[in-house]
A and B are shown apart, each in its own frame.
Chain A
């Protein structure tokens, strides 16, 4: 059975490109977070003009929307709340322009993150942000979440590498933010859009900064007998004036899960390993590797291995990037607490996270971006057990509180989504959140774009109801803009 809305959408994208039967919609009911929500319809779009036409219709029909890439979101950001229509962006995956002299690439946002660098590789270039899920996540999702990755320590996050965006606003207006030049005229709207979790509009095309592949790369694996030793190495490397491209740490539980699933060469008896990569000109690299080895030894590191060839290097990275997947061997579910602390507070944060695990009797495996102070303790549990689920939610919130207390923040790279709405008051006052609401209102005054995410509509005063998918109007919007939710339409 189809609906008038479905018919209108089919008129834009063709009969086969709209899903609106419950059985079809079930695939789009979830992302990599723990909740579920049924979208009203899913529309496959291929061009910016189609996105514009679809958003125009949705505005007339007073229906909210959610752009969706590959659904790898860990905070529920791609769930369709309030009976929203999902715009499936995966077919917008074309490369529009590779501009080597300007070190820019223009692509549609449905492209896989890893494909960008694969396409650039023969030209001697790459795109720096490399989230661990890069094989399975799209650029659009990276933009929505301001994704990070191991190489952030030296090269920065997605927002440092996205310089222009073609954006379709709620209602269908298309506008370009930023461009190919580094210093754009006026307010940095590109910067504000990246990381806005789809709540300001839908980016369809992006202009990326691309970098020359380094002449030389050297990857070291420091095998540590304690997490503290690893933390000390990170501090000592920074103090010595060295800027490795990555400083990644993996704990013992994760090492063993990785080795069980793919045998990457991590020593099973190590308390932790630290993956250190240097890149740049080959001149001086040998000496820098020696200096790092000496620092490691002085910090009590048991052993330092240097990847002898590209194959060994790739194996180490395969292990690191496959860590989350490997951990699914240990428990049916995990929750990643993506808090970030000033890197000097890392050892204390790790101690307190371990305490939380003991108190709640929850196994915790840790993988983290040590150079950035970005923790990823994975709280292992079984979501079929309601008591377990409740416990993990409470423990996760305590981890975020620890991060906030240590001068850090509650999300380093996975976003707020619906998961961390309740954690926002840990780091923001009502005034801070009100100012963020100004930006939302300027882009999306009626609150049609990805409702219920990132920022709670109507303010964040203590005691507000949790995001439950209920219809909510954005502060300042007329009340008749409430969305009627009709499940299944």
Chain B
């Protein structure tokens, strides 16, 4: 057989592509009996997120579990098999005049199952809500291959425990997601995305706090470094290294127009640009994707209470300046999500060894300590090669981690669902 795909430097013994749910169930049941560690993968867009699995026997690709199984525009729900790409599910929703309210990066490759398992909330989560809010139901296979379903196609459901919440963002630790049902939104009457160069992070803090305290209901409220914008837009940014605000709104045209006007007025003398409809959608896509991963870049994601979002950027800026690193960032100020990239000027992966250890090695723990002080957390989303052996990808989840471990032990007693991959070594 041809060589298999490596996961974080681990070569699986075999790469399997189950033809459907029954096939996947058989694979899991056998692996569970044999004690073979499985790594479930969709588009492999999140494999650098968090910790690497401790061990790997079988790489199981979900691509064949594909397609939307139910699209109900009047009920505002869509169900899709786990291996369906986000782009495909999104197109199905759009074809019936609805919005699939998820906003992850790489929608052409990322799958529904992978995005839900990774809990990847993008810029528009500010308005859509997070995945935990928009996932109404999950079907999954447990480690022994048995099929389970939780939640359903209704907005409200208190029948049994809210197991869907446990599966969202679980990194596959509890089972293999096979199908997800989402809440849909009606299409907006109008949407606009305001792009506003700012003078400084202080300015960003002031402006975002103003929007958050106002009546406005942003769909997205991103503060990004100029390099996070497509080439043409970076040119219109302010002073080098200064942030750019992207404030998106959707709804009735009059409300959208007023929202854009109100935010613009908070920055006198700025040179705003406003994108509408498809142009705005394209920009959101660009923001969600982030910069293309490169060998010499350390990538981190933090989550903090919303008022501290810009403080994380300031802390990262200080660290980058002190260590001769270049910082890129995309921060969702209405959700407290912060994506950071740090790279050495003109370096690449080869700069690893000593320089990497000194400049990058301390970075996750240093910035994590500050995020934790702010009431949040931080994990590594790329650049593991730049970090020392035994680095902590996730951080400490506190007293709750003991409960998480007991849940993992119950769901996966033989430890075949990529143990070591998730928080607390589960």
A residues adjacent to B (C-beta < 8 A): 99-104, 145-146, 148, 152-153, 156-157, 159-160, 173-177, 179-192, 194-196, 212, 214-215, 235, 238-243, 280-281, 283-285, 287-288, 340-344, 369, 371-374, 407-416, 420, 424, 427-429, 431-436, 438-443, 445, 454-455
Residue from A180, A434, A436 in contact with B161 in the complex, judged by beta carbons closer than 8 Å: A436
B161 contacts A103, CB within 8 Å? no
Stretch from B144-152, B284-292, B340-348 contacting the other chain: B144-152
Closest to B374 in A: A181
CB contact under 8 A between A241 and B399, given known A160-B129, A192-B161, A195-B158: no
B161 contacts A100, CB within 8 Å? no
B121 contacts A180, CB within 8 Å? no
* Chain B residues whose CB sits within 8 angstroms of the CB of A288 once the complex forms: 252
Query: Measured between C-beta atoms, what is the minimum distance from A366 to chain B in Å?
Result: 16
A-B pairs with beta carbons under 8 Å apart, 29 shown: A101-B209, A160-B133, A176-B398, A180-B305, A181-B375, A182-B125, A183-B303, A186-B424, A187-B173, A191-B162, A191-B168, A192-B161, A239-B97, A239-B186, A243-B186, A283-B257, A343-B74, A373-B75, A374-B155, A408-B152, A411-B158, A416-B160, A420-B159, A428-B159, A434-B146, A435-B142, A435-B150, A435-B163, A443-B403
Query: Measured between C-beta atoms, what is the minimum distance from B146 to chain A in Å?
Result: 4
Most B C-beta atoms less than 10 A away, residue of A104, A214, A438: A438
A214 to B142, CA, bound (A): 44
B159 contacts A414, CB within 8 Å? no
A90 to B121, CA, bound (A): 37
Query: Measured between C-beta atoms, what is the minimum distance from B261 to chain A in Å?
Result: 10
* Chain A residues whose CB sits within 8 angstroms of the CB of B251 once the complex forms: 280-281, 284
A281 contacts B165, CB within 8 Å? no
A281 to B214, CA, bound (A): 10
Closest to A189 in B: B400
Which B166-201 residues have C-beta < 8 A from chain A? 166, 168-170, 173-174, 185-189
* Chain B residues whose CB sits within 8 angstroms of the CB of A185 once the complex forms: 303, 377, 379, 394-395, 397, 423
CB contact under 8 A between A435 and B400, given known A185-B379, A187-B170, A243-B186: no
* Chain B residues whose CB sits within 8 angstroms of the CB of A104 once the complex forms: 305
B213 contacts A180, CB within 8 Å? no
Query: Measured between C-beta atoms, what is the minimum distance from A397 to chain B in Å?
Result: 14
A284 to B254, CA, bound (A): 5
B336 located at the interface, meaning its Cβ lies under 8 Å from any Cβ of chain A in the complex: yes
Name 13 extra pairs, CB < 8 A, besides A408-B154, A414-B158: A156-B155, A192-B163, A212-B214, A212-B215, A243-B186, A284-B255, A287-B254, A288-B252, A344-B74, A413-B158, A428-B160, A436-B161, A438-B411
A159 to B129, CA, bound (A): 12
Closest to A435 in B: B148
B159 contacts A409, CB within 8 Å? yes
A100 to B213, CA, bound (A): 8
Most B C-beta atoms less than 10 A away, residue of A416, A433, A436: A436
B residues adjacent to A (C-beta < 8 A): 72-77, 97, 119, 121, 125, 129-130, 132-133, 142, 146-150, 152-163, 165-166, 168-170, 173-174, 185-189, 209, 212-217, 251-255, 257-259, 303-308, 335-337, 375-377, 379, 394-395, 397-404, 406-407, 409-411, 422-424
* Chain B residues whose CB sits within 8 angstroms of the CB of A102 once the complex forms: 305-308
* Chain A residues whose CB sits within 8 angstroms of the CB of B160 once the complex forms: 416, 424, 427-428, 432-433, 436, 454-455
A344 to B168, CA, bound (A): 26
A372 to B411, CA, bound (A): 32
A187 contacts B404, CB within 8 Å? yes
* Chain A residues whose CB sits within 8 angstroms of the CB of B213 once the complex forms: 100-101, 212
Closest to A278 in B: B252
* Chain B residues whose CB sits within 8 angstroms of the CB of A441 once the complex forms: 406, 410
CB contact under 8 A between A146 and B158, given known A181-B304, A181-B305, A185-B394: yes
Residue from B150, B174, B188, B303 in contact with A182 in the complex, judged by beta carbons closer than 8 Å: B303
CB contact under 8 A between A416 and B407, given known A181-B303, A212-B215: no
Closest to A165 in B: B400
A407 to B69, CA, bound (A): 14
Closest to A288 in B: B252
* Chain B residues whose CB sits within 8 angstroms of the CB of A440 once the complex forms: 161
* Chain B residues whose CB sits within 8 angstroms of the CB of A443 once the complex forms: 403, 406
* Chain A residues whose CB sits within 8 angstroms of the CB of B161 once the complex forms: 192, 195-196, 436, 439-440, 454-455
B215 contacts A214, CB within 8 Å? yes
